[in-house]
């Protein structure tokens, strides 16, 4: 393991590198926007050029890639080369997972880290450490885009749907405004947009939304989630239900002065609900009356 705090010993002074002639970077005579690299990085890159040119898939080259990604986390070429070496050397890939876990603590938002981890887990065909690995990072940043995206891959690839809903519910309990968790909830319930919701599940989700809406009416998440579910899976009765509930929620219809009445999200969803019902309506059901209702809601919405 390369320790950054160790005093820097140039590779050129190490006997194990004595047979390699480093290849310096050639930016040309008057480059635009050159970067003043640290000596450590510049030298490591000179050696990387040399070993890559020779297609050397060795353990010292593996160590070199590790040094480079510690110095420059987004170095996609070093990551890709590292993967080639790992495949070739047949080393213990679980130790690679350990390295990646440590690396992720410092660089949780590097694209390459996540992609590399995915490739390693594919090779191992073992997701057993992934749940904890991701959960630990989400505990630090509960909206880490890469972590959630990767989590979806793990869940889908290894059919780990069980347990995901309680986990997501827990994160929503911790911060009801965590939209990444809400997005994951939709992902879990629809099994990655491959599955319909049965009636009971849909009603349960609507109730869940209503509870969270009441908790913090100016939080967009449950309104967007509810709208998404209804548009995809809702029946006429479901839309009627949500209309009634939204009106009840803090007396929206009467524009009372409670928090819910000031919620632009409550008004927005109510407006969409009325518009949906209009599109469904026939003349017998009183289309004209419905239109008047939409005008009324929209006027309130603008105010």
For residue 80, give every residue at least 6 positions away whose Cβ sits within 8 Å of its Cβ, in sequence order, or none: none
Q: Is residue 225 classed as helix, strand or coil in its secondary structure?
A: helix
Q: How far apart are CA 127 and CA 49, in angstroms?
A: 34
Catalytic residue among 87, 109, 136, 143: 109
136 interacts with other proteins by CB under 8 A: no
For residue 107, give every residue at least 6 positions away whose Cβ sits within 8 Å of its Cβ, in sequence order, or none: 73, 113
Q: What is the DSSP letter of 128?
A: T
Stretch that binds other proteins, among 98-106, 124-132, 202-210, 213-221 (CB under 8 A): 213-221
Site residues for other proteins, window 19-58 (CB under 8 A)?
Answer: 23, 25-38, 41, 45, 49, 52
Site residues for other proteins, window 271-300 (CB under 8 A)?
Answer: none
145 interacts with other proteins by CB under 8 A: yes
Among 121, 229, 252, 266, binds other proteins (CB under 8 A): 229
Residue 104's alpha-carbon distances to 59, 98, 139, in angstroms, are 22, 10, 13
183 interacts with other proteins by CB under 8 A: yes
CB contact at 8 A, 273 and 242? yes
Q: How far apart are CA 261 and CA 265, in angstroms?
A: 10
Q: How many residues sit in the footprint of other proteins (CB under 8 A)?
A: 68
Does the annotation mark 109 as catalytic?
yes
Among 219, 222, 245, 246, binds other proteins (CB under 8 A): 219
239 interacts with other proteins by CB under 8 A: no
256 interacts with other proteins by CB under 8 A: no
What count of Cα atoms within 13 Å lies in the side-chain half-sphere of residue 97? Answer: 20
CB contact at 8 A, 265 and 281? no
CB contact at 8 A, 164 and 204? no
Among 56, 161, 228, 247, binds other proteins (CB under 8 A): 228
Q: How far apart are CA 228 and CA 183, in angstroms?
A: 10
Please state the closest distance from residue 290 (CB atom) to other proteins, in A: 13
**Pick 71 or 97: Cβ nearer other proteins:** 71
What count of Cα atoms within 13 Å lies in the side-chain half-sphere of residue 144? Answer: 22
**Pick 15 or 248: Cβ nearer other proteins:** 248
Start-to-end C-alpha separation, the chain = 61
**Pick 67 or 119: Cβ nearer other proteins:** 119
225 interacts with other proteins by CB under 8 A: yes
Catalytic residues: 109
Residues that bind other proteins (CB under 8 A): 23, 25-38, 41, 45, 49, 52, 71-77, 80, 83, 111-112, 114-115, 119, 142-143, 145, 148-149, 152, 174-180, 183, 186-187, 192-193, 215-221, 224-225, 227-229, 231-232, 259, 262, 268
């Amino acid at each position: 393991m390369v320790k950054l705090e160790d005093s820097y010993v140039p590779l050129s002074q190490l006997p194990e590198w004595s047979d390699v002639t480093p290849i310096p970077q050639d930016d040309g005579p008057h480059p635009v926007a050159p970067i003043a690299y640290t000596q450590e990085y510049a030298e490591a890159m000179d050696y990387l050029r040399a070993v890559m040119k020779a297609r050397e898939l060795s353990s010292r080259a593996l160590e070199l890639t590790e040094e480079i990604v510690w110095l420059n986390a987004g170095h996609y070429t070093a990551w890709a080369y590292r993967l080639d070496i790992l495949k070739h050397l047949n080393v213990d890939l679980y130790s690679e997972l350990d390295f990646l876990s440590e690396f992720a603590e410092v660089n949780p938002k590097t694209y390459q880290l996540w992609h590399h981890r995915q490739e390693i887990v594919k090779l191992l065909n073992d997701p057993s450490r992934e749940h904890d690995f991701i959960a630990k990072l989400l505990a630090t940043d509960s909206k880490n885009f890469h972590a959630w995206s990767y989590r979806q891959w793990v869940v889908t690839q290894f059919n780990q749907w069980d347990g995901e809903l309680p986990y997501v519910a827990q994160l929503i309990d911790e911060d009801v405004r965590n939209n990444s968790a809400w997005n994951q909830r939709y992902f879990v319930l629809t099994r990655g947009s491959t599955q319909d919701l049965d009636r009971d599940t849909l009603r349960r989700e609507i109730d869940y939304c209503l509870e969270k809406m009441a908790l913090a009416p100016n939080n967009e998440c449950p309104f967007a989630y509810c709208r998404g579910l209804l548009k995809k899976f809702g029946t006429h009765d479901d839309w009627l239900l949500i209309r009634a509930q939204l009106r009840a929620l803090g007396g929206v219809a009467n524009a009372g002065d409670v928090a819910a009445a000031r919620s632009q999200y409550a008004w927005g969803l109510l407006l969409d609900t009325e518009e949906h019902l209009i599109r469904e309506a026939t003349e017998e059901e009183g289309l004209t009356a419905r239109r008047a209702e939409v005008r009324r809601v929209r006027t309130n919405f603008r105010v």
